[in-house]
Amino acid sequence: MDTVQSLLYGFSVSLTATNLMYCALGVFLGTIVGVLPGIGPLGGITILLPTTFGMEPVSAIIMLAGIYYGAMYGGSTTSILVNIPGEAASVVTCFDGYQMARQGRAGPALSIAAFASYIAGTLSVLGLMLLAPTLARLALRFGPPEQFALMVLGLVILAYMGTGSVLKALMMIVLGLTVAMVGIDHLSGFTRFTHGRVELGDGVSFLAVAMGLFGVAEILVNVEQKVVQDIIKPKLSTLLPTREDWKRSIGPILRGSGVGFVIGILPGAAHIISTFVSYAMEKRLSRHPEEFGTGRIEGVAGPEAANNAATGGAMIPFLALGIPSSAATATMMVALLIHGVKPGPMLMEQRPEVFWGLIASMYIGNVMLLILNLPLVGLFVNLLRVPQHTLFPFILLICFVGVYSVGLSTTDLWIMAISGVAGYLLRKVGFDPASIVLAMVLGPMMEQALRQGLMMSKGEFGIFLSRPISAAMLAVAVLLLVAHLITVLRRAHARREATTQEATA
């Protein structure tokens, strides 16, 4: 099947009444998740994951993907109207979006955010559709050494591109990989880290850890940060952008789409980083950079396009290589694995309905979001009025049911509670636990690839360096770490010099 035929087949899958309903439900729930401060797309996907267990795999992934890109749309609403980002990727939208709202231009800000998201979302799906099959064909040539090197590179980029300290991110990755080691070793049959507990034989429940780290911990952090909300209500008569607004926005939207898509492919906090890169780029290209932060529409259009395009980019490594590049796509991968579908190079051959059905649903979902977001802005804004003391206990209740429903085990509930408290404490001391989740998914694959590689070479580590693809990937990983080390040392040197100068002055 060529791409056009495959896409038409995808539309025939996603345009069934059931899948359309799940797509609509996904983008609607995603928008709510994006609007509500405190629950990010990852928390939303994790909390709603158990509700997909009774569905067909294609319906489940359509709904979860809908939550993922829907949250990017929703996040901008709170940034513009309340100056509180609904999720981390909407922080940049606050800079100019809220200023526009204060000047009485909330309508154009909201609508350009929605249009930018729609255009970027659609373009990124186009990129995903064209790039994923090529990458999947290339990945079919990968043996264990290449797979291992790819995962090492992915995790190093994850640490490097993260929002905090690289060292701390590496520690979280190692911790996540270790959690993945718990249970029976499938190559030898030995149990590890279980201390005789039968419930841990199959390993630590991914869902329990993810629910704890992103459901429970997120709520504990939010309980601590009580926020006062001053909501600006947009007037519907001024909702649409003017011709001048469009003229100023179209360039940033197209550039943001490109930046977001490319950064989205890379592991790490891609959707967050892409917004900052897009904002910085627009400011640099502008004739009036000094006006950024005072309500420039380009400051809304570019970053909003970037964070939506990043979602399409992030789907590529997950669907084509079977290696998720973010915690959100790792959760979606777990959802597919639970349904017996293994993402990776063979997905397009073995389960074309899942791959092409998902891609077609993303085109449809982006249209649905545009239709949903503009007229229902008032409804979504009112969600912000739901008091935290009502919302948070209900989210925790859903976490309880969700975790228990999978394994019918209170051990999983204990793991959720412990992960929740650990996630809260880790954030307080400057660690981002998102890497733990991604490493947990990659852990078993990475161990298998490493051990198989060593067995192939009869114990020679040289196999990872003698094959060109794996050698190149490991070289890039080492270069990134060395580059980071040099930066750290330079900064320390500069600080020392500054202190010496201060002392002599």
Contact characters 328-367, other proteins, x per CB under 8 A: ----------------------------------------
> Judged by CB under 8 A, does residue 425 bind other proteins?
yes
* Cβ 265 vs Cβ 158: under 8 Å: no
Question: How far is 96 from 37, CA to CA, in rounded Å?
Answer: 19
User: Taking the alpha carbons of 488, 494, 497, 502 in that order, is the dihedral positive or negative?
Assistant: negative
What is the nearest approach in angstroms of other proteins to the Cβ of residue 6? 34
* Cβ 316 vs Cβ 265: under 8 Å: yes
Q: Of 237, 390, 501, 504, which one interacts with other proteins (CB under 8 A)?
A: 390
Identity of the residue numbered 474: L
Contact characters 447-466, other proteins, x per CB under 8 A: x--xx--xx--xxxx-----
Which residue stretch of 26-34, 97-105, 167-175, 377-385 sits at the interface with other proteins (rule: CB under 8 A)? 167-175
Q: Of 48, 82, 120, 175, which one interacts with other proteins (CB under 8 A)?
A: 175
Phi, psi of 267 (to 5 degrees): -70, 160
| Closest to other proteins by CB, 22 or 424 | 424
SS3 state at 183: strand
Q: Of 239, 337, 417, 471, which one interacts with other proteins (CB under 8 A)?
A: 417
Counting every residue written for the chain, the total comes to 505
> Judged by CB under 8 A, does residue 231 bind other proteins?
no
In the block, residue with structure tokens 């395009």: 309
Question: How far is 46 from 326, CA to CA, in rounded Å?
Answer: 13
> Judged by CB under 8 A, does residue 223 bind other proteins?
yes
> Judged by CB under 8 A, does residue 401 bind other proteins?
yes
Cβ atoms < 10 Å from Cβ of 309? 37
> Judged by CB under 8 A, does residue 486 bind other proteins?
no
Neighbour-count burial for 25-57, b at 16+ CB within 10 Å, e otherwise = bbbbbbbbbbbbbbbbbbbbbbbbbbbbeebbb
Cα–Cα separations (whole angstroms), residue 358 to 58, 322, 330: 7, 15, 16
Question: How far is 4 from 131, CA to CA, in rounded Å?
Answer: 14
> Judged by CB under 8 A, does residue 430 bind other proteins?
yes
Give the pair of three-digit tokens for residue 405: 């429903």
What is the nearest approach in angstroms of other proteins to the Cβ of residue 185? 4
Give the pair of three-digit tokens for residue 218: 């997120």
Q: Of 4, 17, 196, 224, which one interacts with other proteins (CB under 8 A)?
A: 224
What is the nearest approach in angstroms of other proteins to the Cβ of residue 187? 7
> Judged by CB under 8 A, does residue 389 bind other proteins?
yes
SS3 state at 241: coil
Name residues contacting other proteins, limited to 190-209 (CB under 8 A). 190-193
Q: Of 16, 178, 238, 286, which one interacts with other proteins (CB under 8 A)?
A: 178
Question: How far is 339 from 349, CA to CA, in rounded Å?
Answer: 17
Q: Of 9, 11, 246, 400, which one interacts with other proteins (CB under 8 A)?
A: 400
* Cβ 268 vs Cβ 326: under 8 Å: yes
| Closest to other proteins by CB, 208 or 259 | 208
Q: Of 20, 88, 135, 171, which one interacts with other proteins (CB under 8 A)?
A: 171
Q: Of 2, 4, 17, 54, which one interacts with other proteins (CB under 8 A)?
A: 54
> Judged by CB under 8 A, does residue 492 bind other proteins?
yes
Contact characters 275-304, other proteins, x per CB under 8 A: ------------------------------
Q: Which residues contact 125 (CB under 8 A, 6 or more apart)?
A: 312, 359, 362, 363, 366
> Judged by CB under 8 A, does residue 422 bind other proteins?
no
Count of residues in contact with other proteins, rule CB under 8 A: 64
* Cβ 33 vs Cβ 67: under 8 Å: yes
What is the nearest approach in angstroms of other proteins to the Cβ of residue 197? 13
- Report how far Cα 37 is from the mean position of its chain's Cα atoms: 16
Q: How many CA atoms lie within 13 A of 368 on its CB side?
A: 24
| Closest to other proteins by CB, 141 or 389 | 389
Q: Of 196, 340, 387, 468, which one interacts with other proteins (CB under 8 A)?
A: 387
Neighbour-count burial for 465-492, b at 16+ CB within 10 Å, e otherwise = eebeebbebbeebeebeeebeeeeeeee
Which residue stretch of 100-108, 109-117, 122-130, 400-408 sits at the interface with other proteins (rule: CB under 8 A)? 400-408
| Closest to other proteins by CB, 271 or 467 | 467
Q: What angle do CA 59, 61, 62 make, to 5 degrees?
A: 60
Beta-ladder partners of 183: 192
Which residue stretch of 25-33, 291-299, 329-337, 406-414 sits at the interface with other proteins (rule: CB under 8 A)? 406-414
Identity of the residue numbered 170: L
DSSP-assigned letters across all residues of 303-367: HHHHHHHHHHHHHHIIIIIS--SSHHHHHHHHHHHHTT---STTHHHH-HHHHHHHHHHHHHHHH
SS3 state at 330: helix
> Judged by CB under 8 A, does residue 181 bind other proteins?
yes
What is the nearest approach in angstroms of other proteins to the Cβ of residue 400? 7
| Closest to other proteins by CB, 185 or 349 | 185
Residue ranges in contact with other proteins by CB under 8 A: 51, 54, 167-168, 170-171, 174-175, 177-178, 181, 185, 187-188, 190-193, 216, 219-220, 223-224, 226, 387-390, 392-394, 396-398, 400-401, 404-405, 408, 410, 413-414, 416-417, 420-421, 424-425, 428-430, 446-447, 450-451, 454-455, 458-461, 492, 495, 499
